[in-house]
Amino acid sequence: MKQFLVCLFTFFSAYSSYAQDKDTYIKTGDNVPSFSFELTEGKTVNIADYKGKLVLLNLFATWCPPCNAELPEVQKKIWAPHKKDPRFAFFVFGREEGWEKLKPFKEKKGFDFPILPDEGRKIFSLFAAQNIPRNFLIDENGKVIYSSVGYSPEEFKQLVDLINERLK
Question: Got the DSSP string for 85-148?
Answer: -TTEEEEEEEET--HHHHHHHHHHHT--S-EEEEGGGTTHHHHBSS-S-EEEEE-TTSBEEEEE
Q: Which residues of the chain have a pLDDT value below 50?
A: 2, 4-20
- Nearest to residue 145, comparing CAs of 161, 129, 132, 131? 161
According to the model, what pLDDT value does residue 18 have? 39
According to the model, what pLDDT value does residue 21 have? 67
User: Using CA atoms, how far apart are residues 138 and 145, in angstroms rounded to an integer?
Assistant: 6
Fold of 26-166: Glutaredoxin (3.40.30)
**Alpha carbon of 153 to those of 127, 157, 160: distances in Å?**
23, 6, 10
Q: Is the pTM of this model over 0.75?
A: yes
According to the model, what pLDDT value does residue 41 have? 92
Q: What is the mean pLDDT of the chain?
A: 90
According to the model, what pLDDT value does residue 23 have? 85
